[in-house]
Structure 1
Amino acid sequence: MYQAVSDAAIALFLEKGFEKVPVAEVAAAAEISKPTLFRYFPAKEDLVLHRFADHVDEAARVVAERPAKRSPLDALQRRFLDGLEHRDPVTGLCDNVHVLAFHRLLYGTPSLVARLYGYQERSEAALGEALSKAAVDTSAESPTGPRTGPRTGPRTGSPDADALAARLAAGQIIAVQRILALENWRRIDAGESAEAVWPEAVVAANRAFGQLRSGLTTYA
């Protein structure tokens, strides 16, 4: 039901524009009542952003399901590079005409962009929790107690400080992925092909994750 209603709504929005389609028209197209529609989608914007729902905790899942010897950052970098190679729309590197139309709808509608930030905040929260757990697990594995290193970063011994450090890291990681995806989409929207952009997108992704590892030394 979620998928069917969302697809019906997006088709109308692409045809007429997001602001010009009332929710009642979407409900009629999906053959449900308006109250029923709102039980599935609390806000009109969620009809579009439902396509991002499965990705809200994706970064957290990557960290939680990574191989034991792989660091969270390495796992996230590999996932992003794999997405680039397979032209995953989430990476922005997809020149499918339907994906391009959807992205133009999304980034061309201020209320949708604003609502998207809510999804990104939930992604940050989920990733922050996964990073916190990864750091605790790593400390437990170490025979000498809490340690620092490429796997998880420093542990302070203070739960509140460690949770904040994980949230800060999560915010930086999600921001990097968002900016990389936006840059890829901007170039493709300007007329470049995904195939042409891909080599530079890989270089940019590796550079960005390298910056995450080294910190902001260039600007310090």
Structure 2
Amino acid sequence: MSETGLRERKRQRMYQAVSEVAIRLFLERGFDAVSVAEIAAAAEISKPTLFRYFPAKEDLVLHRIADHEGEAARVVAEGRAEGLAPLPALRRHFLDGLAADDPVTGLNDHPAVRAFYDLLYGTPSLVARLYGYLERSEEALAEVLGGGLDARLAAGQIIAVRRILAEENWRRIAAGEQVADVRADAVAAAERAFAVLGAGLPQLARSFEAQ
């Protein structure tokens, strides 16, 4: 591996390690009760170093889901390589996520996952920061859809649908329902939502009815 590759791996390990330290402290004591200085001390780095990796305190939490930021765009690009239209590709990916209990779909009741999402959705500043993450997801998806206003409008609808589906699943899980009791409704809701998207965005769903 090249020196550049080794540096990048080391950098990614640092991101991961510091984020996990911060999340552990937040879960133990609450987001607002933990200072950046305490996180830096626990991670054995200086505050300036921490801020080089994480410009905002909220980014320490959102790093855990950062790899999902460009997920919709990646799914569309990979689907295109298979000859699959954007909406069928995204529909298949979301349904696969539900089948696998992927936490990003909201359909996961593991205690550690529940604790993380309770932290995320229960902290106003994290919710506010999450909207920046969603905006970047929209931008990446719009670009792969071809750019321009039509692509931006479509991307906004798609990202909103994925978010609302996941939030509804998570709302029920957080209320105490079991994954097994939510799954069928989650799948049916996803099917309905992507059917509506397909009807409204036919240019992105040419092969939707065949899926």
Report the TM-score when normalising by structure 2. 0.87
Instruction: Report the counterpart of residue 176 of structure 1 in structure 2.
Output: 161
The alignment of Structure 1 onto Structure 2 pairs a total of residues equal to 187
Tell me how far 1:51 sits from its aligned partner.
1.1
Once the two structures are superposed, the pairs formed by residues 65-80 of structure 1 within 5 Å of their partners are 65-66=78-79, 67-80=81-94
Task: Give, in whole Å, the separation in 2 of the partners of 1:68 and 1:103.
Answer: 34
1:172-201 Cα shifts (integer Å, max 9, x gaps): 000000000000000000111111101110
Report the TM-score when normalising by structure 1. 0.83
Structure 2: gaps of 5 or more residues:
1-13, 202-211
1:212 aligns with 2:197: yes
Could you tell me the percent identity over the aligned residues? 71
Task: Give, in whole Å, the separation in 2 of the partners of 1:28 and 1:180.
Answer: 38
Amino acid in structure 1 at the alignment position of 2:29: K
Structure 1: gaps of 5 or more residues:
133-161
Instruction: Report the counterpart of residue 50 of structure 2 in structure 1.
Output: 37
Which among 56, 60, 72 is matched to residue 47 of structure 1? 60
Structure number, greater radius of gyration:
1
Task: Give, in whole Å, the separation in 1 of the partners of 2:96 and 2:67.
Answer: 17
Which among 13, 22, 27 is matched to residue 40 of structure 2? 27
Which among 91, 100, 104 is matched to residue 105 of structure 2? 91
Amino acid in structure 1 at the alignment position of 2:196: Q
Task: Give, in whole Å, the separation in 2 of the partners of 1:69 and 1:7.
Answer: 39
Could you say which structure has the higher helix fraction?
A: 2
Tell me how far 1:215 sits from its aligned partner.
2.4
Amino acid in structure 1 at the alignment position of 2:180: E
Which among 61, 73, 79 is matched to residue 60 of structure 1? 73
Tell me how far 1:34 sits from its aligned partner.
0.6
Instruction: Report the counterpart of residue 82 of structure 1 in structure 2.
Output: 96
Task: Give, in whole Å, the separation in 2 of the partners of 1:214 and 1:63.
Answer: 18
Runs (4+) off by over 4 Å? none
Task: Give, in whole Å, the separation in 1 of the partners of 2:76 and 2:91.
Answer: 11
Task: Give, in whole Å, the separation in 2 of the partners of 1:175 and 1:39.
Answer: 31
Instruction: Report the counterpart of residue 120 of structure 1 in structure 2.
Output: 134
The RMSD of aligned alpha carbons is 1.1
